[in-house]
């Protein structure tokens, strides 16, 4: 194991010694929990059926039944293009959409595209309960470790006018109130999320950008490598936790 691996193990050991890992769903208000558990009222239901319809129209010809990709959502981000880039699930969906000429063309901000989000919701739904399983591809261990180390570095670095790092809130202030929110451990098990304040479904990327904004730091551009490195780090930090999204958030 290289130096990055050792440093990461130390961080994970500190976190798990403090308390068991929990999903953000633990902090849902009773009202939002009721909404989440009622498929007739839950706004995510519509997104899921839109995703299933898109799957049949654009994806099934190559992939067959969506159930075959049951473990997929739990295994992103992954290295792509020979290790040069890191793709999250939404990037993979957008890439695959371009393989199908009948699909709508997507903008560069693919993680905010409604069709991509609908497909992400459907793929997360079939992947519900699957343990997060993000690991280095044996042939690209060095490139992967470098991205992970970068993600960890960002996670631990103070930013913005508020001058706090991710870890100051999501490791050290868990359970504290921040405006009307209770700070969770920041595990990415529940995505994509339908956030009431957004009135729409959003990706992990969008939530991370919201956290930058919360500390009044300059927002990283959609699709930037910083956002992917961070997503890799928080997924690895949550390895073994079951996916429990898509979910509702305040
Ligand atoms: C000033 C405190 C603060 C900082 C710093 C912060 N966040 Fe957050 N974050 C929040 C709050 C508040 C929420 C919404 C409530 C919750 O889910 O924790 C949130 C939500 C999240 C969620 C969604 C959890 C869920 O289940 O919906 C993730 C993931 C996350 N943050 C990751 C990060 C990362 C990565 C960073 C560093 C770039 C970061 N946060 C920085 C306060 C913070
Ligand atoms: C023309 C064939 C083709 C079509 C159509 C297609 N894909 Fe793919 N898909 C692939 C290939 C090939 C891969 C292997 C990885 C790569 O080359 O990107 C893949 C990989 C994936 C993966 C990762 C699977 C894993 O290994 O866990 C996901 C998720 C995915 N596709 C989603 C979709 C979605 C969603 C659509 C519809 C918008 C779609 N694909 C349409 C060919 C296709």
Convert the pLDDT of each residue in 17-42 to its tens digit.
457 999 999 999 999 999 999 999 99
Structure-token pair, residue 56: 């049949």
> What pLDDT score does 19 carry?
77
Ligand 1 centroid – CA 167 distance (Å): 9
Q: Is the pLDDT of residue 128 over 90?
A: yes
Instruction: Indicate the burial class of 85 (C-beta count within 10 angstroms; 0-12, 13-18, 19 or more).
Output: middle
CA distance 239 to 213: 26
Q: Is the pLDDT of residue 221 over 70?
A: yes
Closest among 1, 3, 4, 18 to 153, alpha carbons compared: 4
Percent of the chain with pLDDT over 70: 90
CA distance 16 to 109: 35
CA distance 157 to 85: 23
Which has more confidence, 228 or 99?
A: 228
Output the residue whose Cα is nearest ligand 1's atom 24. 186
Q: How confident is the model at residue 109 (pLDDT cuts 50, 70, 90)?
A: confident
Atom number of ligand 2 nearest to Cα 97: 38
CA distance 149 to 136: 12
Instruction: Indicate the burial class of 129 (C-beta count within 10 angstroms; 0-12, 13-18, 19 or more).
Output: exposed
Q: Is the pLDDT of residue 146 over 50?
A: yes
> What pLDDT score does 7 carry?
46
Q: How confident is the model at residue 107 (pLDDT cuts 50, 70, 90)?
A: low
Q: In Å, what is the CA distance from 39 to each residue of 49, 52, 190, 249?
A: 11, 15, 16, 15
Indicate the Cα dihedral angle 219, 28, 132, 62, nearest 10°.
Answer: -80
> What pLDDT score does 177 carry?
95
Q: Which ligand is nearest to the CA of 55?
A: 2
Q: How confident is the model at residue 16 (pLDDT cuts 50, 70, 90)?
A: very low
> What pLDDT score does 193 carry?
98
> What pLDDT score does 106 carry?
60
Q: Which ligand is nearest to the CA of 22?
A: 1
Q: Is the pLDDT of residue 118 over 80?
A: yes
Residues lining ligand 2, Cβ inside 6 A: 58-59, 61-63, 69, 72, 75, 92-93, 95-97, 99-100, 103, 119, 123
Q: How confident is the model at residue 100 (pLDDT cuts 50, 70, 90)?
A: confident
Structure-token pair, residue 121: 């919701």
pLDDT tens digits along 183-217: 999 999 999 999 999 999 999 999 999 999 999 99
Ligand 1 centroid – CA 20 distance (Å): 18
Q: How confident is the model at residue 166 (pLDDT cuts 50, 70, 90)?
A: very high
CA distance 149 to 232: 10
Residue range 3-9: average pLDDT? Answer: 43
Contact assessment for residue 179 and residue 12, using Cβ atoms and an 8 Å cutoff? no
Q: Is the pLDDT of residue 170 over 80?
A: yes
Residue range 52-72: average pLDDT? Answer: 97
Q: Is the pLDDT of residue 11 over 80?
A: no
Q: In Å, what is the CA distance from 63 to each residue of 15, 53, 90, 140, 218?
A: 38, 14, 16, 25, 39
Contact assessment for residue 246 and residue 201, using Cβ atoms and an 8 Å cutoff? yes
Contact assessment for residue 222 and residue 205, using Cβ atoms and an 8 Å cutoff? yes
Look over the chain and give the mean of its residue pLDDT values, rounded to a whole number. 92
Percent of the chain with pLDDT over 90: 86
């Amino acid at each position: 194991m290289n130096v990055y691996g050792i440093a990461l193990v130390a961080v994970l050991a500190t976190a798990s010694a403090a308390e068991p890992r929990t999903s953000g769903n633990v902090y849902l208000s009773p009202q939002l929990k009721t909404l989440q558990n009622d498929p007739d009222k839950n706004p995510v239901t519509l997104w899921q059926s839109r995703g299933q319809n898109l799957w049949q129209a654009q994806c099934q010809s190559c992939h067959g039944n969506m159930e075959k990709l049951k473990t997929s959502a739990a295994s992103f981000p992954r290295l792509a293009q020979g290790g040069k880039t890191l793709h999250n699930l939404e990037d993979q969906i957008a890439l695959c959409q371009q393989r199908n000429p009948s699909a709508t063309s997507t903008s560069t901000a693919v993680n905010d595209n409604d069709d991509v989000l609908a497909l992400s919701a459907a793929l997360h739904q079939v992947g519900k309960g699957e343990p997060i399983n993000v690991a280095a591809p044996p042939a690209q261990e060095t490139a992967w470790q470098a991205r992970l180390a970068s993600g960890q570095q960002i996670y631990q670095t103070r930013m913005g006018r508020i001058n706090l790092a991710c870890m100051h809130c999501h490791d050290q202030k868990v359970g504290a109130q921040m405006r009307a929110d209770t700070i969770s451990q920041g595990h990415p098990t529940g995505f994509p999320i339908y956030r009431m304040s957004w009135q729409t479904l959003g990706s992990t990327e969008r939530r991370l950008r919201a956290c930058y904004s919360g500390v009044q730091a300059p927002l990283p551009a959609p699709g930037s490598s910083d956002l992917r490195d961070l997503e890799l780090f928080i997924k690895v930090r949550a390895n073994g936790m079951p996916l429990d999204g898509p979910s509702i958030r305040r």
